[in-house]
Amino acid sequence: MNEFELIGRYFHFSRAAVDGDTLGVGDDCALLALPAGEHLAISTDTLVSGVHFPADAPPGLLAKRALRVNLSDLAAMGADPLGFQLAITLPAVDAEWLNGFSTALAEDALLFNCPLLGGDTTKGALAMTLTVLGRVPRNRALLRSGAQAGDLIYVTGTLGDAAAGLHCLQSGQTNDFLLDRYWQPTPRVDVGKALQGLASAALDISDGLLQDVSHLARASGLGAVVDRNAIPLSAAIRAIAAPEQGYSWALFGGDDYELCFTLPPQHRAAMEQAMAAIGVQVTAIGRMVPYGGDLVQCLDERGSAVTVEASGYDHFRS
């Protein structure tokens, strides 16, 4: 099977899902319309076999994770998905693998209303790069740089589950909830949209809470104080590990794809109402402060500083 037959067989699924103003797979470029008064939001993420996922990862889970991880970047900007391009590098044409991958990808493309709009297939070590496109009303995007001193820091959902799931995966433990949290994170697109005009800054938690909060603090020219014991841990984590381990997964583990956002205190009631309306749990975990030499201070229940290694998930650590 050559490249063209491959594309034709496995990656044409979204063509029918796009409307008359859009051109999907099959020409030199895809075409897309953007409503007047909106900005295009674009994000690209690569997943490399053996680095970002185990080489023997089930193709369906991999497809879902790849798309969701990218959609999370749109969510973090408050953007609505328009579509995505997939560049996939494969060591060989494996019909069973491709069938599992493309079927799951088509399911999630439909679920998140984010059609496949072309891409590229190449031969080489297994890897995939997705570029997601979204739209957000002008001047309503949630940037990292908008936080003010005194803003509260919130996170959605529970943290550390993905790292705990990866731990289960690597140690052969079965734990459906945690494994699901690792393989199928929920991109918080609805949260991002609901936070437009309320949150002062936002990002998604992909590198571990402390690393990500430090990005937000740096971009905003501030410091952040995180109350470690306020970090929401799932019942599933509490069932398999001591709180210290749970906090460690949350602080350093990454891959949760929950949102972290800052909120001017006067927007608290409006934000809580908006989150209740979409049924999403949010937890205040700290506050933004003037920069005083530390991007992030993490305090334990006694108010003592937790030793923060400059860790996080670094794709270039050896």
Pick one of 14, 102, 129, 234: the residue that binds a copy of itself (CB under 8 A): 129
Phi-psi map region of 312: left, alpha, beta (phi>0 left; psi -120 to 50 alpha): left
Place of tokens 């991999």: 62
Alpha helices in 112-186 (DSSP H): 161-171, 176-183
Which residue, 124 or 303, is less far from a copy of itself as judged by CB? 124
Nearest approach in angstroms of CB 267 to a copy of itself is 20
Nearest approach in angstroms of CB 200 to a copy of itself is 14
Pick one of 65, 144, 193, 228: the residue that binds a copy of itself (CB under 8 A): 144
Which residue, 43 or 234, is less far from a copy of itself as judged by CB? 43
- Binding segment toward a copy of itself, per CB under 8 A, in 130-138, 153-161, 166-174, 246-254: 130-138
Asked if residue 134 binds a copy of itself (CB under 8 A), the reply is yes
Asked if residue 76 binds a copy of itself (CB under 8 A), the reply is yes
Nearest approach in angstroms of CB 264 to a copy of itself is 20
The residues, any chain, with a CB within 8 Å of residue 30's CB and separated by 6 or more, are 22, 23, 24, 83, 85, 117, 118
Asked if residue 46 binds a copy of itself (CB under 8 A), the reply is yes
Which residue, 139 or 266, is less far from a copy of itself as judged by CB? 139
- Binding segment toward a copy of itself, per CB under 8 A, in 12-20, 124-132, 234-242, 293-301: 124-132
Which residue, 127 or 237, is less far from a copy of itself as judged by CB? 127
Asked if residue 44 binds a copy of itself (CB under 8 A), the reply is yes
Residue 304 is classified by DSSP as P
Residue 184's nearest CA partner among 97, 48, 71, 88 is 71
Phi-psi map region of 208: left, alpha, beta (phi>0 left; psi -120 to 50 alpha): left
Asked if residue 138 binds a copy of itself (CB under 8 A), the reply is yes
**Pairing outcome for strands 80-90 and 116-123:** parallel
Pick one of 136, 199, 209, 275: the residue that binds a copy of itself (CB under 8 A): 136
Q: How far is CA 183 from each of CA 79, 247, 257, rounded to the nearest angstrom?
A: 23, 20, 11
Pick one of 67, 109, 141, 271: the residue that binds a copy of itself (CB under 8 A): 141
Asked if residue 174 binds a copy of itself (CB under 8 A), the reply is no
Subset of residues 181 to 240 that bind a copy of itself, contact rule: CB under 8 A: 202-204, 215, 219
Contact (Cβ atoms closer than 8 angstroms) between residue 190 and residue 278: yes
- Binding segment toward a copy of itself, per CB under 8 A, in 58-66, 83-91, 100-108, 243-251: 83-91
Pick one of 12, 17, 58, 87: the residue that binds a copy of itself (CB under 8 A): 87
Exposure of 202 in the CB half-sphere (CA atoms within 13 A) = 32
Asked if residue 55 binds a copy of itself (CB under 8 A), the reply is no
Contacts 24+ apart (CB under 8 A), 269-274: 270/198, 271/154, 271/195, 271/198, 271/199, 274/194, 274/195, 274/198
Cα angle 46, 280, 239 (rounded to 5 degrees) comes to 80
Q: Buried b / exposed e across 277-306, counting CB within 10 Å, b at 16+?
A: eeebebeebbbbbeeeeebbbbbeeeeeeb
Number of residues that bind a copy of itself (CB under 8 A): 70
Q: Which residues bind a copy of itself (CB under 8 A)?
A: 1-4, 6, 21, 23, 26-34, 36, 39-52, 73-74, 76-77, 79, 85-87, 89, 93, 117-125, 127, 129, 131, 133-134, 136, 138, 141, 143-145, 202-204, 215, 219, 314-317
